[in-house]
Amino acid sequence: MTRQTKHSRHGRARQAQGAVLVELALLLPLLVFLTLASVEFSLAIAAYKVLVNQVHSAARYLSTRAPGTGHIEAGCLLTHASLSSTRPCSGTALLPGFSASGFSVTVSDALNAPATHRSQRTTADATVTSATRINLVSVTATGYQHPLHFAGFLSNVVGSSPTLTFGPISSTMRQTL
């Protein structure tokens, strides 16, 4: 092997390393951005799932209570996973957005929404008896704002808001009497 051949191979290896570094410099910001966006999206989905499950739990709890009772306990069950009968609820909020001023929990049952929740017929039969009527209970969570942890890095995608506001989440169940 001649000395000139050895130097030309070494020069090509250096050029290849330089090309790899340039490609890395071009792709690394994109890869970091995609990673942060994936993590942020995953955290938002996890928070949404917690919120949906807690709304269902509160509605399930109220379905075992008489109309007009248990509203405070259901709200505390939704936000703190505890059956506290006084406000503020005891314990720590499950999600940070539960303590925000725009977040609210609404309960509708046969007592406070009689037109839509009291004595609903279970069939379209004209000969309906009292045995075929039920009361409903609905729990709705509105205004939950999920904090975006990487909002500074993702400002071009999510806008200037450091939070993501979820739409209303509601669950309606049959109330046993």
Q: What is the per-residue DSSP string for 26-69?
A: HHHHHHHHHHHHHHHHHHHHHHHHHHHHHHHHHHHHHTTS-TT-
Partners of 146 in the β-ladder:
164
Number of domains in the chain: 1
Burial class (CB in 10 A: 0-12, 13-18, 19+), 102: exposed
> For 83-91, what is the mean pLDDT?
87
CA–CA dist 40, 158 (Å, integer): 11
* Residues 156 and 177 sit within 8 Å (Cβ to Cβ): no
Band (134; pLDDT cuts 50, 70, 90): confident
Tokens of 63: 């379905």
Helix/strand/coil for 156: helix
The answer to whether the bond into 88 is cis (omega within 30° of 0) is yes
Band (53; pLDDT cuts 50, 70, 90): very high
Is the per-residue pLDDT at 7 higher than 70?
no
For the chain, first and last CA: distance in Å?
Answer: 95
Residue 61 or 125, more confident: 61
pLDDT at 126: 57
Residue 55 or 124, more confident: 55
User: With a threshold of 0.85, does the pTM exceed it?
Assistant: no
Domain boundaries, position 11? 3-175
